[in-house]
Chain A
């Protein structure tokens, strides 16, 4: 049996644990053994993006050592942004480090979740069922750094009972941007409002994406404006198989059920 090592972003670990559990369920369902290297913490992106490269570098080196030691066939991450950090930015951050060759080797083994399912595992139909109208938000790093556009849509088209709709301006940034959201909250929330309005205009019940960080931002704006639209991570849609679960609390129920098993 092929093995996947899960790369769980720090904020997914702390704030959206159900997303990691759901990803594990889907990966197992399509035939992979799933491992979680417990020494992992954070890829270093928040510091790197804020200009603190010297503070981010030891975390990158740590990451390369931890996942470099894993003999899993692939490393899979439920975030396009964190995958970008390892694949596109580690070579720049670790230029001059003795770990650079290892980092470059590792970069080729790290995949964003939807990309892994479609390109590597080649299972566009993971047997999911989610009878709702859903819009896909193109997360910037997935779209423009990793060129992931069709893979999540491909997966969503195979979900039973689901209607996939497109939002106007689906490729426009939601405004999260990591520390950008805290340094420039007015700009970030103005961008979030536009995204929320476009989500509402699409008629979708849910907005989904490859990245929990974008979704946390969009959800916070949606709920503040008392919008009926909710967000749900792609992994949490794909984890649904049609067992009784109520809309709105699906991901949470799933995590509890999974955790209690």
Chain B
């Protein structure tokens, strides 16, 4: 059996060479970038908005004890149930038991990464519950039996022709690949599910402490149907989702919409504060909020990387990442892909299992510049690498190589000597025509590059000669 790191290497290499994938992603991201450029201009001062967001999240994360309890108290006052789940298993069990107690046969889900994190759908399906993803992108990848490709745009890797073929096979009635026609087909299929479901499951984009309400953002309205039609609504949220005040949404909502999809504001921003009240005509009879820790407290205890909990899951760092653009979302082999996933996964899923993701970056920093809450993403990758060298498995050959590297460079004489020897070796090898053969000393490099010209003299030699001559 291969390790996650070996699997990553294999999948990433295959996907990197897939030119059709490269074109599909480039088209999607060109649209995204154009839209962000257009709506970004609506902010008088985007940098000030980022700073404000950073401060709001900083305040919340550094006072989680206060804001989570405040949120819980307010929500319970209106009849909501709150369950604190320490692990993914706790959360799964609570929801599965709730479904069993209420004879739930059908569940409609709105898009939620945290339910992917706890692998909720498979648990419910094992219990015989039919689960419908109702976000269009999520519905598409569910029909394909795939995890979401991207935490914001789950079907980004598919062209509309591929989606038309999928619908033809799974749903029928496809006459063209016109997007409106395809959406119509999905809509008809989903309506039946919405009306038959006994339970709706959603995530929560934010938990507003001062009002005890959760905020849910969607673009398709599926979130509103799924949280108001079924008899029971269950929301799952990481403990980092809390924000102090309702008024914080004034900057968070537009910033989320801009960074996620390049909109001025998302189509549906909903605040949910509990089950249907006696005087209300609609809404669920029961409302449960599952607060998930699942490793977040440990991240909270790490002052160096605590700010990773500021993430609002907009996906901007994936879109701008040149590595993501080449290897695609599935190659990461992780619930959270892209730069934020590479930073976060070692904390949620174990350093040894996920350390390789932190090395699979050119450290270009595009993610950090794109992050609306100013998480220093690429520097956290460096810290993960340092942590991996300190306390995870690294190849013995690598450890020895860097030991030698450090020793050689501690003396300029040694450096000049080994440098000259290496250049002499390469010049001989290349004069014998060994470039790009298995005997090429620079073999891994020259597989993808023409061999470099190796200079006869180093800079320090040229410098000495010049000084001697003048």
19 pairs from A and B in contact (CB 8 Å cutoff): A8-B459, A14-B422, A14-B455, A47-B405, A52-B402, A56-B406, A58-B406, A62-B410, A180-B359, A183-B359, A187-B327, A190-B326, A191-B362, A220-B445, A221-B449, A224-B448, A224-B449, A261-B466, A261-B469
Taking A183-B359, A186-B13 as contacts, is the C-beta distance between A13 and B466 under 8 angstroms? no
Residues of A within 8 A of B44 (CB): none
Binds B, one of A105-113, A156-164, A171-179, A203-211: A171-179
Assuming A49-B382, A144-B365, what are 19 further A-B pairs, CB within 8 angstroms?
Answer: A10-B409, A14-B419, A15-B454, A36-B460, A41-B412, A46-B405, A49-B363, A51-B389, A55-B403, A173-B322, A173-B362, A185-B445, A186-B13, A216-B452, A219-B452, A220-B448, A221-B449, A224-B449, A260-B469
In the bound assembly, the distance between CA atoms of A111 and B170 in angstroms comes to 61
Nearest CB in chain A: distance from B273 CB, A: 42
* B window 48-105: CB within 8 A of A: none
In the bound assembly, the distance between CA atoms of A255 and B466 in angstroms comes to 11
* B window 343-370: CB within 8 A of A: 359-366, 368-369
- The chain B residue with its CB closest to the CB of A88 is B379
The answer to whether A144 and B369 have CB atoms under 8 Å apart is yes
Give which listed residue, B366, B448, B457, B462, contacts A221 with CB less than 8 A: B448
A: residues with CB less than 8 A from B are: 8, 10, 12-18, 20-21, 24, 36, 38-42, 44, 46-53, 55-56, 58-59, 62, 140-141, 144-145, 171-173, 175-192, 194, 216-217, 219-224, 255, 258-261
Nearest CB in chain B: distance from A19 CB, A: 8
- The chain B residue with its CB closest to the CB of A63 is B409
Residues of A within 8 A of B363 (CB): 49, 140, 177-178, 180
In the bound assembly, the distance between CA atoms of A48 and B389 in angstroms comes to 11
In the bound assembly, the distance between CA atoms of A259 and B463 in angstroms comes to 7
In the bound assembly, the distance between CA atoms of A171 and B361 in angstroms comes to 16
Taking A21-B459, A50-B385 as contacts, is the C-beta distance between A59 and B406 under 8 angstroms? yes
In the bound assembly, the distance between CA atoms of A194 and B52 in angstroms comes to 36
Nearest CB in chain B: distance from A34 CB, A: 10
The answer to whether A53 and B410 have CB atoms under 8 Å apart is no
Residues of A within 8 A of B411 (CB): 41
Taking A62-B410, A182-B445, A190-B16 as contacts, is the C-beta distance between A220 and B359 under 8 angstroms? no
Taking A15-B452, A39-B412, A187-B327 as contacts, is the C-beta distance between A51 and B406 under 8 angstroms? no
Residues of B within 8 A of A48 (CB): 382
Query: Is B31 in contact with chain A by the CB < 8 A criterion?
Result: no
Query: Is B208 in contact with chain A by the CB < 8 A criterion?
Result: no
Query: Is B302 in contact with chain A by the CB < 8 A criterion?
Result: no
In the bound assembly, the distance between CA atoms of A44 and B412 in angstroms comes to 14
Nearest CB in chain B: distance from A12 CB, A: 6
* B window 304-349: CB within 8 A of A: 322-323, 326-327
Taking A13-B459, A187-B327 as contacts, is the C-beta distance between A51 and B385 under 8 angstroms? yes
Residues of B within 8 A of A219 (CB): 450, 452
Residues of A within 8 A of B322 (CB): 172-173, 175, 191, 194
The answer to whether A176 and B362 have CB atoms under 8 Å apart is yes
The answer to whether B405 and A55 have CB atoms under 8 Å apart is yes
The answer to whether B323 and A187 have CB atoms under 8 Å apart is yes
The answer to whether B444 and A185 have CB atoms under 8 Å apart is yes
* B window 361-405: CB within 8 A of A: 361-366, 368-369, 382, 385-390, 394, 398, 402-403, 405
Taking A53-B389, A175-B362 as contacts, is the C-beta distance between A17 and B405 under 8 angstroms? no
Chain B CB within 10 Å, residue with most, of A12, A189, A190, A222? A190
Sort A-B residue pairs by CB-CB distance and give the 10 closest, nearest first.
A220-B449, A177-B362, A51-B385, A189-B448, A223-B450, A173-B364, A51-B389, A186-B13, A144-B365, A17-B459
Nearest CB in chain B: distance from A237 CB, A: 18
Give which listed residue, B406, B455, B466, contacts A258 with CB less than 8 A: B466
Residues of A within 8 A of B323 (CB): 187, 191
In the bound assembly, the distance between CA atoms of A16 and B366 in angstroms comes to 28
The answer to whether A220 and B12 have CB atoms under 8 Å apart is no
- The chain B residue with its CB closest to the CB of A17 is B459
* B window 407-463: CB within 8 A of A: 409-412, 415, 419, 422-423, 444-452, 454-455, 457-463
Residues of A within 8 A of B410 (CB): 41, 58-59, 62
- The chain B residue with its CB closest to the CB of A52 is B402
The answer to whether A51 and B386 have CB atoms under 8 Å apart is yes
Give which listed residue, B17, B402, B454, contacts A55 with CB less than 8 A: B402
Query: Is B265 in contact with chain A by the CB < 8 A criterion?
Result: no
Residues of B within 8 A of A21 (CB): 459, 462-463, 466
Query: Is B2 in contact with chain A by the CB < 8 A criterion?
Result: no
Taking A47-B402, A51-B389, A260-B469 as contacts, is the C-beta distance between A217 and B449 under 8 angstroms? yes
